[in-house]
Amino acid sequence: MQQSRVLDLSDPVVRVLEIIGVTAFAISGALLAVRKRFDLVGMAVLAMATALGGGVLRDLILGATPPAAFTNVVYLVPPLVVSLIVLWWHPVLERTTRVLMVFDAAGLGLFCVTGTVKALEFGLGPVQAVLLGVTTAVGGGVVRDLLAGEIPTVLRHGSELYVIPALLGATVVVLADLADGPATPTAVSAAVLAFVLRMLAMRYHWRAPVPRGTTSD
């Protein structure tokens, strides 16, 4: 592990982004549980799996065992609190799916940053760090969707650009690291960039190319 990283996991900004990301994904998991009519326990399990899935996958890949979620109790609080809140308040939230996708986008943006930071800290090369950042960012959503019996958002046709925003956010972190850029602005702007791109892609229905002969709708 190198010590001169622009960003590392002990940075307060990285820790705060990670907890916000955990919370955002927990909300997306709890909302999907509502739509699937799971009970409180199922909701807590899905919230926890969504919130912690990406980070656990990242830590297993890095060999950083036990993963942070199994050593630091703080990660367990957001999914549990979120489940209780969503259990009582969800009817207030109209159009569950739309709200779910906003929180999913927030989790995506935040985790692509923390995943990339941790990968660099563990000595992965630039391309690999981007790959692990994207894996961390999409991992929680994939776990959520598989457990709920849905095709993962990351794959679905018509799921407007999902991987590209995470890829760009992770790339910003890697480039700033190579260029010795400033830590906090880098982390925050990379997360915001990925989040905003994902939101814009959903708003304006940006699409990746589809195979020839397949209609785009």
Among residues 27 and 56, whose Cβ is nearest to a second copy?
56
User: Is residue 153 within 8 Å of residue 145, measured between CB atoms?
Assistant: yes
Q: Cα separation of 31 and 103, whole Å?
A: 10
Least distance CB 30 / a second copy (angstroms): 9
Q: Which is nearer to a second copy, 167 or 183 (CB)?
A: 167
Nearest to 88 by CA among 162, 34, 23, 25: 34
Least separation in angstroms between residue 202's CB and a second copy is 14
* Nearer to a second copy (CB atom), residue 169 or residue 183: 169
Q: Among 139, 140, 137, which Cα is nearest to 168's?
A: 137
Nearest to 201 by CA among 172, 170, 166, 173: 166
The residue among 46 and 183 lying less far from a second copy, judged by its C-beta, is 46
Q: Quick one: 40 or 179, whose CB is closer to a second copy?
A: 40
- 43 and 87 in contact (C-beta within 8 Å)? yes
The minimum distance between CB 153 and a second copy, in angstroms, equals: 10
Give the other-Cβ count within 10 Å of 156's Cβ. 12
**Minimum CB–partner distance for residue 213 and a second copy (Å):** 5
Enter the tokens of residue 210: 């589809």
Q: How far is the CB of 71 from a second copy (least distance, A)?
A: 6
Residues that bind a second copy (CB under 8 A): 33-34, 36-46, 56, 60-63, 65-67, 69-71, 73, 76, 86-88, 90-91, 122, 124-125, 127-128, 131-132, 138, 142, 146-152, 154-159, 161-164, 207-214
